[in-house]
Chains A and B, each alone.
Chain A
Amino acid sequence: MQLSSKHLLGIRDLLPGDIQLILDTARQFKEVLQRPIKKVPSLRDITIVNLFYENSTRTRISFELAEKRLSADTINFAASGSSVSKGETLLDTVNNILSMKVDMVVMRHSATGAPHFLAKHIPAAIVNAGDGINEHPTQALLDALSITERLGDLKGKKIAIIGDIMHSRVALSNIYLLTKMGAEVTLAGPPTLIPKHIRDAFGVNVTYNVKEALEWCDVANVLRIQLERQNQVLFSSLREYNQAYGITRQLLDSLQKDVLIMHPGPINRGVELDSDVADSKQSIILDQVENGVAVRMAVLYLLSGRKESTS
C-alpha cells in the first residue's frame, strides 16, 4: 500500500485513497508524539533539504520537527543570504544540493508551479510547502485531520472558508481536499476577494454574507488577510473588513449553534479574527498546529518508502 504519486505537489493530484492513507498514518504518528521519546528511526537513512524561498516560521519549524522526529538529517536553506542573491537559478541551486546526496526536498516558493518544475528535472521526491497562490497541500491535510478529530468522517460535513480566497493557497488545497472527500464547501468574503467563476469551477457555494456562512457550516476556516500579496486595495480598511467580515464574539454568540473555528496562522488579531474567538473553546487552532507535525511526518514517511514499480 502506498501513495499514488512520487511527490506531494498538490491535493489536486491526490486520490481520496491517498488522503485517507495519509490521515490514518498521521493518527499513528500523533501517538508517537505523546511518548517520552518522541522519535522513531524510520527515516534515519534519509537526508531532507528544506528549501524555503519565501518567509515562513511555522511551516518550516513544523517540517523540521517532523523530519527530526523521524530521525532524518535535515538541512535548512533560506533564500536570503544564499547564492540566490548572487543570481543562481533555482535548478542550479537544487542540483548543487542534490549532488550532496539529498533524498527529499521540501519546498516553498513564491512562484506557482515551482515544485512541479523541480519535479520534472530532479530525481528527489518533492514536497510542496506552498507555491505562489496555488497550493499548500500539507495545510489542507492537517486541517482535514483536525476536523475529523472533532466531527468524524469528512463526508457530508459543512465547511466554510472565509476571507481572502483569491490569494490563498490554503483555500485552494482545502477546496480540492474537502470536495474529494465528499464534504460541502461554502466560500465567504468580500466579492473582491473571491474569484468570479469559482462556484462553477469547483462545485462550491459562494456567499458574500459571513453570518449566512456561519449559520450553515459545522466548521469555519478563517483565512488571513494577506497584506503582503496585494498591490491594490481590495477592501476599504482593516477596521471595515473586521466589521463586515471579521469573526467576532458577538457574531458567534448570535448563531443558533456552536461552530468550530480554524485558522492556518498567523492570525491578524482584530482583523479577520478577534482575540476572544481565537482563544475560545470553539477554536481548534492549536490542535491544527499539533496535527501539522503528525501530518508532515506521515507525508514524509509515506513518500520516503515509495518504490517505483518496475515494469
Chain B
Amino acid sequence: MKGVNTIMEEDQLKLTLKRLAHELIENHYPFTDAYIIGIQPRGIAISDFITQYIQSIHPEVSIHYGKLDITFYRDDFRGQIHIPSITDLPFSIEGKKVILIDDVLYTGRTIRAAMDALLDNGRAQKVELCILVDRKFSRELPIQPDYVGKSIDSIVTQKVKVMWGNEKRVILYDSI
C-alpha cells in the first residue's frame, strides 16, 4: 500500500464509536421499535462494537440486532462475482425504525443496495444511516448519513480502510 495516512488512531476510533452509540441512545432509547442492522462484510465490526457498547451502558434494554448482506442487490456484480456473507435478520422490520450501520460511505451504492434488500424484507417505518467515515464529496447517488463519525475529503484513487485486528485504526491510502 502506498501513501498510507492514519486518519484515526485506536483511541480516537473507539471514542468516535462511543459517541455514535450515544447519539443512537439519544434518539432511540429504549430501542423498543428501533432495530440495528450492520451491513456485511465490513460494517459488522463497527455495528458489533456499537451494539455491545449500548447494551453495556443499558443492560435493561434488549437491542434487536441483525446483519444484512447486500451482494445480490449490487448493481455492479457482472463486473466481478462477489461471494455473499450471512444475512441474519432474526426479526421482521415491518413498521419498525431501522438503523443501518456501515464503516465507510463512499459512492452510496452499497446503501442503495441495502435499502433495496430491506424493502424485500418488509416496509420499515424509517431507515437511518450511521457511518464511521463519510467520504463526503464522492457520492454518486443522493444518499446522506444521519450519524457520522468523521467526514473526510478524498479522491477517487484513494481508499479508506477500517482496520479492526490487533491494531485498530482507520487509514487512507492510494489504491493505485
Q: Contact residues of A with B, CB < 8 Å?
A: 1-2, 21, 24-25, 28, 31-32, 35-37, 39-42, 45, 301-302, 304-307
Contact = CB atoms under 8 A, between A and B. Distances in A.
A41 B83 contact: no
Given A35-B121, A36-B121, A42-B72, A305 B80 contact: yes
Nearest to B94: A36
Given A42-B72, A305-B78, A305-B80, A31 B120 contact: no
10 contacts: A28-B69, A32-B72, A36-B120, A37-B121, A41-B73, A42-B73, A45-B78, A301-B72, A301-B81, A305-B80
A21 B79 CA distance: 18
Contacts of A307: 78-80
B87 A306 contact: no
Nearest to A305: B81
A40 B73 contact: yes
Given A36-B122, A305-B77, A305-B80, A41 B87 contact: no
A268 to B, nearest CB: 38
Contacts of B116: 41
B84 interface: yes
A28 B80 contact: no
Nearest to B92: A36
Interface in B30-89: 69, 71-73, 77-81, 83-87
Contacts of B78: 45, 304-305, 307
A277 to B, nearest CB: 34
A1 B121 CA distance: 28
Contacts of B81: 1-2, 301-302, 305-306
Given A40-B73, A40-B120, 8 more contacts: A1-B83, A28-B69, A28-B85, A28-B87, A36-B121, A39-B120, A301-B72, A305-B80
Interface residues of B, number: 18
Nearest to A45: B78
A302 B116 CA distance: 21
Contacts of B84: 25, 28
B97 to A, nearest CB: 19
B129 to A, nearest CB: 21
Contact of A42 (B77, B86, B120, B122): B77
Contacts of A42: 72-73, 77
Contacts of A45: 78
Rank and list the top 8 A-B pairs by shortest CB-CB distance, nearest first.
A40-B72, A28-B84, A37-B120, A305-B81, A42-B72, A2-B81, A305-B78, A31-B87
A24 B84 CA distance: 9
Give the interface centre of A36, A40, A45, A301 by most chain B CB atoms within 10 Å.
A40
A173 B84 CA distance: 26
A5 to B, nearest CB: 13
